[in-house]
A and B are shown apart, each in its own frame.
Chain A
Amino acid sequence: MLEQCIFAGFGGQGTLLIGKFLACAGLMEGKEVTWLPSYGPEMRGGTANCSVVVSDRPIAAPVVTAPNSVIAMNLPSLLKFEHTVKPGGTLIINSSLTNAKSSRDDLRVAYVPATEIAEKVGNPKGANVVILGAYLAMNPEIVAIDTIIEAMKEELGPRKMKFLDGNIKALHAGIDYVKNT
């Protein structure tokens, strides 16, 4: 198994954080992982993305140019990365922020109204974790849901543990949305 994915969105949406959750969960399951953020003249509201690689074998390049999966939390991310996804790969679009449709017919595409779903479960800032749930529902072989929850505990740490329950709800809401549509 070699999963190479790009999580992209606006700065402040928590796209780098869900990438960390995935990398941390991969490590917990004994897999090889890398997490590489984009950095530059970026700011809240600007674009931010990270490349995550999860593999059974030692990882050569941590740089991802042809991902298996792209999570686009906004329109600029969709425009930037849609064409890079490998045929047969996964593309998840946050349809709360854009009505754009994918122009690719060789991908598994999901439109997830992440903000609405997050609001519905009482965690309006949890759109990122809703999307992570959708991604895992479409790619269940990467890591187990229980491990992701363990990874969220680890990454949130004691200071932010109060956000754990809301995030677990958001995660399951994302999973359920993909399963029911």
Chain B
Amino acid sequence: MAKKLMKGSEAIAEAAIRNGCRFFFGYPITPQTEIPEYFSERMFEEEVHGCFLQAESEIAAINMVYGAASTGVRAMTSSSSPGISLKQEGISSLCAAELPCLIFNIMRGGPGIGSIQAGQGDYFQAVKGGGHGDYNMITFAPSSVQETINCIGQAFPLAEKYRMPVMICADGIIAQMMEPVELPEMQPYEVDPAEKPWAATGWDPKNPVGERANVTSLYVETEQLDVLSARLQGRYAIIRETEPQWEAYNMENAEIVVTAFGTIARIAKSVIDELKDEGINVGMLRPITIWPFPYDAVREAATQPGVKAVLDVEMNAGQMLEDVKLAINGAQNVDFFGHCGSHLPTVDEIREKILSMREE
């Protein structure tokens, strides 16, 4: 199939539809409003025939996702940082009720209402539990429009396999940018009650078949909550073991390794390419899943023979930095460069930082 030039937000919506998503609930917020806008038209086309609903608030939207996901269908919501904060109670409930769904955070600058430009300050919120309780979600942090589409392709099957919400944290630049993309073919999705016995697909009291579905996040008996917790934690252990994804770039003979995610990783890549042309080898280890975090891959890259230091670059005060340090556990020097809010680190700044590290 020929590549098509497409804006990130529109590609996100189209890719979700082509992966069987027929239920979208959301509330407008810059810089992701083009996602609901695209759904608002496309969902009502003949070949899609789905449901788009602009909810009265972000909180309503995430709870509508809870309702739709309870029936086993592929449902999704999207928002941007302050809106994702509002959704946290619902996200915690979705995790406890073991409901698969897709949540997009098109990150902007925070804290508070912050700015409407791209940000990366929601790393902690996404991977350290933005809501209450012991839960995790598989969380992708793509760095291009195409990679975002690929993550959507993985998101629904993973969400269903592990019965959990999957979050994709892309920043405002990815949503606003146009890049050439290749979209998957349309794959309609039918709920198979045999595959999803937990889903509330309808129960006829006159003709009862099987068990009644009971979707809940309330466990009054502590013992029952223990059973749920053990099940969730068991799943998380498997996911930590098997699902981390990352990209290693220019690692051969690297003397410094950069860790970064999302758009910032691309800015750092520009620096790496420039320095390579000048005979300086800098590698990069870029987590694609930020939960599960690729701890082993980061440690191996950081301690590869010849590597003298690690530089973590982010558009925040150093959030992923904590996971990078946990991964390395003192086995390598770790430095940080970044700006908060929506202040993009530039090629020149990162370059200068790397060169100053070489002199130390």
A-side residues, CB < 8 A to B, are 20, 23-24, 27, 32-37, 39-40, 59-63, 65-66
Contacts of A63 in B (CB 8 A): 173, 263, 266-267, 344
Known interface pairs A35-B5, A39-B30; A61-B176 also in contact (CB < 8 Å): no
* A60-B180 in contact (CB<8A): no
The interface size bin for chain B is 20 to 34
Given known contacts A23-B5, A63-B173, what 15 new A-B pairs fall within 8 Å (CB)? A20-B5, A20-B178, A27-B3, A33-B5, A33-B179, A34-B178, A35-B179, A37-B177, A39-B31, A39-B116, A60-B266, A61-B266, A62-B263, A65-B348, A66-B347
Within 8 A of A (CB), among B328-360: 344, 346-348
User: CB-CB < 8 A to A32: which residues of B?
Assistant: 180
Instruction: Name the contact of A60 in the complex, choosing from B5, B31, B116, B273 (C-beta under 8 A).
Output: B273
> Which 8 residue pairs are nearest across A and B when measured between Cβ atoms?
A60-B269, A60-B270, A35-B178, A61-B270, A61-B267, A36-B177, A61-B266, A27-B180
Q: Is the Cβ of B5 less than 8 Å from the Cβ of A24?
A: yes
Interface contact B176-A36, CB-CB below 8 Å:
yes
Query: B315 to nearest A CB, angstroms?
Result: 11
Which residues does chain B contribute within 8 Å of A40, judged by CB atoms? 116-117
Would A34 and B177 count as touching, CB distance under 8 A? yes
Q: Are A62 and B348 touching (Cβ within 8 A)? A: no
A20 to B263, CA, bound (A): 20
Q: Is the CB of B176 within 8 A of A39?
A: yes
**B 269-307 contacts with A by CB, 8 A:** 269-270, 272-273
Residue ID in chain A nearest B344 by CB atoms: A63
Complex alpha-carbon distance, A32 and B178, angstroms: 11
Residue of B nearest to A20 (CB): B178
Residues on A with C-beta less than 8 A from B176 are: 36-37, 39
